[in-house]
């Protein structure tokens, strides 16, 4: 499948034009172009929502861990942290805002996870 992507600025000037190619094992007689478009958009939604946060905010790509296995451990911990943040953040808050809240009051995060005793 071929997807042509154009990016326009607010002044209605063409900024960039890219062609992206996708490979699929789907039968072209059983899938519509709208289905394919939805799947492509979903792919980029995952890229923008997850990997952008991991790469830009937590600089996952810049971490270099020399000992074998540590990179995988770091990735697992990062994924776990993002999962917890997405689970506990308030509706409308960004992941950054949620993480900063817990950065300043770590006991709040531990309490939400059930890792501290409640005060009597």
- pLDDT tens per residue, range 41-61: 887 776 666 677 777 777 777
CA distances 58 to 65, 91, 105, 107, Å, are 15, 22, 19, 21
* CB 22 within 8 Å of CB 35: no
Residue 41 and residue 47 in contact, taking contact as beta carbons nearer than 8 Å: no
Element (H, E) at 17: strand 14-21
pLDDT on residue 120:
56
Domain count, the chain: 1
- Whether 24 is in a domain gets the answer no
Parent domain of 71:
65-120
Residue 14 is predicted with a pLDDT of 92
For residue 100, being part of any structural domain is answered with yes
Q: Is residue 58 part of a domain?
A: no
Half-sphere exposure of 101 (CA within 13 A, CB side): 15
- Is the pTM of the predicted complex or chain greater than 0.75? no
């Amino acid at each position: 499948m071929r997807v042509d992507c154009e990016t326009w600025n607010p002044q209605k000037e063409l900024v960039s034009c890219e062609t992206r190619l996708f490979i699929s094992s789907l039968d072209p007689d059983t899938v519509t172009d709208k289905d394919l478009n939805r799947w492509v958009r979903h792919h980029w939604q995952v890229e923008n929502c997850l990997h952008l946060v991991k790469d830009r905010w937590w600089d996952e790509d810049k971490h270099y861990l020399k000992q074998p296995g540590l990179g995988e451990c770091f990735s697992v911990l990062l994924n776990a942290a993002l999962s917890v943040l997405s689970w506990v953040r308030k509706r409308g808050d960004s992941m950054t805002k949620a993480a900063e809240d817990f950065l300043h009051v770590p006991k709040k995060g531990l309490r939400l996870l059930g890792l501290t005793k409640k005060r009597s």
